[in-house]
C-alpha cells in the first residue's frame, strides 16, 4: 500500500473523531517513510512520487490541504478526470469523505447546537431526545412529523411540542422538527426534502447516526407527509411509518426497497382516510405479490378508534427498527412525483430528464456480496432497464463495493439492445456524489450514461 494510501486509510479510520489526532498520524507516517528510505529501500512497500498511483493521490491530497476559500474547482483539475484503479478509488474516497466531513462540521455546528436549520427564506426548528446505548455501527435516527396543518402558528407549535414526547424508541435519536409553514400541506411541500436531507446529514455529523438506519414517521398532517416523502426519499431511508394521514396523490411505487407500515383508526372517516388506508393495504399487497423481494409492509386498521388511536400505533417504532437500508439494491423502481430529484439509489438523471410523472425500473445481476468481495471475483455486472417512461437518458452509478469495475459493464435497454463498456473510476465522480449529499454509504466512483431513445 502506498504512503498516501496509508495516510488516507488512517484518516478514514478517524474520520468521525479528532482532526489533531489525524495530524499526528500524518506526521507519524511521514516519519516511517523517511526511516524506511534511510534504511535502504522501500521495504514497507510505499509508492513514491514517480509512481502514477502516487501522483494522482498526491495531487488530490495537495488540493484538499488548501483552504476551501482558495481552492480551484476540483472538477476542472486534470487529476479529477484521470481514470483510477481500485486502490486509488478507495484512497480518494477516504480523503474526500474526511474533507467533506471536516468542512460540513465547521459550517453546521451552530445550526445543530441552536436546533434550527435555515434554507433560503425558510427555517425549520427541531428538538430531539437520545435513547439507549449507542451501537458500534452508529445510532438510529427517527424523524417524527407533527400534526396540525392549515391552522394558526400557535396550534402547530402545540402539535410540535406534543410530537416531541409522543414516541420513544428503544435506541436512537428521536427528532421532531417544526414545519417551516402553517399550510395544509406543510409536510410535503418541495422544500421539506431539502430540510430532511440536511437533518440526516447533520445527525450523521454530530450524533454519529448510521446512514443506513434512518426512519421517518408522522401523525395526521405528519402522516400526510410520510405518504408523500417516503416514496420520493426512499433512497435515504430504512423504513417509514404513517399514522392517521391522507396520501393525496402519492404513489407507493418508490417504496420497493424500504419497510413501510401504516396505522389507521377504523372510524377515521374524515377525508375518507380509513377507506384510502384499506385501499393502500391492497395496493401494497398487490405490489409485493408481483415483486416478492420488495414492498415489505404492515398495515394495521385499529377498528375501534377514530382519528386518535390512543397510542396503540406506537408498535410502529420497533417494527421500523428492524430494517436497515440497502443503499445498493439489486432492483430499483423510481417514480418521480411533482417534487423531482436528480438521483435515487444508484440511478441519476440530468436536469432535462427530471420530469414529474416519469418512471424507471432497473434490475441488475453481478452484485458483490461480502463473500465475493473478500475471496473471489464476482461475475460481470449486467443492468436491465425494464421500464423508462418520460426519460430520454439514464445514468447508472457504481462503486467497488457494488460491482466489479475491472470488468466491462453491460446495460440492456428496454428495446433489448445491449451496450457494453468499461466504467472508469474518477475522483470527479466521487466528489460529485459527496457534493450532492453527504452520505458515506452512497459514494460512487464510476458511472455510465445510456440513451433511451
Domains identified in the chain, total number: 3
Q: What is the pLDDT of residue 157?
A: 98
Does residue 167 sit within a domain?
A: yes
- CA distances for 197 relative to 193, 204, 276, 417, angstroms: 6, 11, 28, 37
- Are 195 and 317 in a shared domain? yes
- Are 312 and 229 in a shared domain? yes
Cell output for 339? 417534487
Query: 3-state class of 17 per DSSP?
Result: coil
Does residue 34 sit within a domain?
A: yes
The residue range of the domain holding 138 is 115-321
- CA distances for 451 relative to 209, 360, 404, 448, angstroms: 38, 13, 23, 10
Residue 244 CB contacts under 8 Å (≥ 6 apart), including other chains: 147, 219, 220, 223, 263, 264, 265, 268, 273, 307, 308, 309, 313
In whole angstroms, what is the distance from residue 88 CA to residue 367 CA?
A: 21
Chosen domain end from 290, 321, 352: 321
The closest alpha carbon to 400, from 364, 434, 443, 365, belongs to: 443
**CATH assignment of the domain containing 159:** 3.40.50.1820
- Are 233 and 377 in a shared domain? no
What's the pLDDT tens digit per position in 356-415?
999 999 999 999 985 455 556 679 999 999 999 999 999 999 999 999 999 999 999 999
Cβ neighbours around 363 below 10 Å, total: 16
Does residue 326 sit within a domain?
A: no
Q: Which residues pair with 153 in a beta bridge?
A: none
Largest CA distance in the chain: 82
Helices 427-436 and 86-114: crossing angle, nearest 10°? 20
Chosen domain end from 279, 298, 321: 321
- In contact, 349 and 395? CB cutoff 8 Å: yes
Does residue 91 sit within a domain?
A: yes
- In contact, 140 and 213? CB cutoff 8 Å: yes
The closest alpha carbon to 93, from 395, 369, 383, 398, belongs to: 398
- Are 152 and 52 in a shared domain? no
Which portions of the chain are predicted below pLDDT 50? Answer: 1-22, 25-52, 371
Count how many Cα atoms sit within 13 Å of the Cα of residue 312 in the half-sphere of its side chain: 17
- Are 286 and 367 in a shared domain? no
The closest alpha carbon to 424, from 399, 450, 452, 393, belongs to: 399
- Are 257 and 283 in a shared domain? yes
- Are 95 and 138 in a shared domain? no
What's the pLDDT tens digit per position in 165-177?
999 999 999 999 9
Residue 173 CB contacts under 8 Å (≥ 6 apart), including other chains: 128, 129, 130, 131, 139, 140, 141, 142, 203, 207, 209
- In contact, 326 and 338? CB cutoff 8 Å: no
- Are 134 and 265 in a shared domain? yes
- Are 170 and 81 in a shared domain? no
- Are 244 and 131 in a shared domain? yes
Q: Which residues pair with 344 in a beta bridge?
A: 347
Query: 3-state class of 49 per DSSP?
Result: coil
Burial 276-286 (b: 16+ CB within 10 A, else e): bbbebbebbee
Q: What is the pLDDT of residue 9?
A: 41
Does residue 142 sit within a domain?
A: yes
Q: Which residues pair with 240 in a beta bridge?
A: 216, 260
Q: What is the pLDDT of residue 138?
A: 98
Chosen domain end from 298, 321, 344: 321
- CA distances for 273 relative to 159, 183, 269, 276, 306, angstroms: 20, 19, 6, 5, 10
- Are 281 and 364 in a shared domain? no
Q: Which residues pair with 239 in a beta bridge?
A: 215, 259
- Are 195 and 293 in a shared domain? yes
Amino acid at each position: 500500500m502506498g504512503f498516501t494510501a496509508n495516510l488516507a486509510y488512517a484518516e478514514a479510520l478517524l474520520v468521525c473523531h479528532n482532526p489533531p489526532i489525524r495530524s499526528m498520524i500524518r506526521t507519524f507516517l511521514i516519519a516511517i517513510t523517511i526511516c524506511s528510505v534511510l534504511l535502504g529501500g522501500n521495504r514497507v512497500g510505499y509508492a513514491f512520487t514517480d509512481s502514477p498511483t502516487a501522483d494522482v493521490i498526491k495531487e488530490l491530497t495537495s488540493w484538499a490541504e488548501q483552504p476551501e476559500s482558495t481552492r480551484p474547482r476540483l472538477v476542472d483539475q486534470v487529476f479529477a478526470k484521470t481514470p483510477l484503479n481500485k486502490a486509488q478509488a478507495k484512497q480518494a474516497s477516504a480523503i474526500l469523505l474526511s474533507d467533506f466531513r471536516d468542512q460540513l462540521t465547521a459550517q453546521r455546528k451552530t445550526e445543530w447546537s441552536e436546533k434550527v436549520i435555515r434554507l433560503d427564506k425558510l427555517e425549520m426548528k427541531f428538538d430531539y431526545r437520545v435513547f439507549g446505548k449507542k451501537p458500534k455501527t452508529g445510532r438510529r435516527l427517527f424523524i417524527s412529523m407533527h400534526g396540525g396543518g392549515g391552522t394558526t402558528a400557535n396550534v402547530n407549535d402545540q402539535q410540535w411540542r406534543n410530537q416531541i414526547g409522543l414516541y420513544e424508541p428503544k435506541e436512537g435519536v428521536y427528532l421532531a422538527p417544526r414545519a417551516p409553514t402553517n399550510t395544509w400541506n406543510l409536510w410535503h411541500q418541495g422544500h421539506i426534502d431539502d430540510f430532511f436531507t440536511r437533518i440526516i446529514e447533520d445527525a450523521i455529523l454530530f450524533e454519529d447516526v448510521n446512514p443506513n438506519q434512518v426512519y421517518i414517521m408522522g401523525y395526521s398532517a405528519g402522516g400526510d407527509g410520510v405518504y408523500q416523502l417516503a416514496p420520493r426519499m426512499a433512497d435515504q431511508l430504512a423504513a417509514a411509518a404513517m399514522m392517521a394521514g391522507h396520501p393525496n396523490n402519492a404513489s407507493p411505487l418508490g417504496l420497493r426497497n424500504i419497510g413501510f407500515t401504516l396505522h389507521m383508526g377504523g372510524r377515521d372517516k374524515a377525508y375518507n382516510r380509513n377507506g384510502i388506508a384499506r385501499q393502500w393495504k391492497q395496493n401494497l399487497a398487490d405490489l409485493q405479490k408481483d415483486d416478492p423481494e420488495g414492498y415489505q409492509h404492515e398495515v394495521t386498521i385499529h377498528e375501534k378508534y377514530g382519528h386518535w388511536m390512543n397510542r396503540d400505533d406506537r408498535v410502529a417504532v420497533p417494527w421500523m427498527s428492524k430494517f436497515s437500508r440497502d443503499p445498493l439494491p439489486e432492483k430499483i423502481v423510481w417514480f418521480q412525483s411533482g417534487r423531482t430529484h436528480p438521483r435515487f439509489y444508484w440511478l441519476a438523471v440530468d436536469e432535462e430528464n427530471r420530469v414529474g410523472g416519469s418512471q424507471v425500473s432497473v434490475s441488475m445481476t453481478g452484485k458483490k456480496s461480502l463473500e465475493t468481495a473478500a475471496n473471489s471475483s464476482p461475475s460481470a455486472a449486467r443492468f436491465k432497464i425494464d421500464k423508462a417512461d418520460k426519460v430520454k437518458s439514464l445514468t447508472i452509478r457504481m462503486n467497488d463495493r457494488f460491482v466489479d469495475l475491472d470488468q466491462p459493464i453491460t446495460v440492456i435497454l428496454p428495446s433489448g439492445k445491449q451496450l457494453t463498456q468499461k466504467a472508469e473510476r474518477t475522483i470527479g465522480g466521487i466528489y460529485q456524489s459527496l457534493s450532492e449529499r453527504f452520505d458515506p454509504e452512497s459514494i460512487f466512483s464510476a458511472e455510465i450514461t445510456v440513451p433511451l431513445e
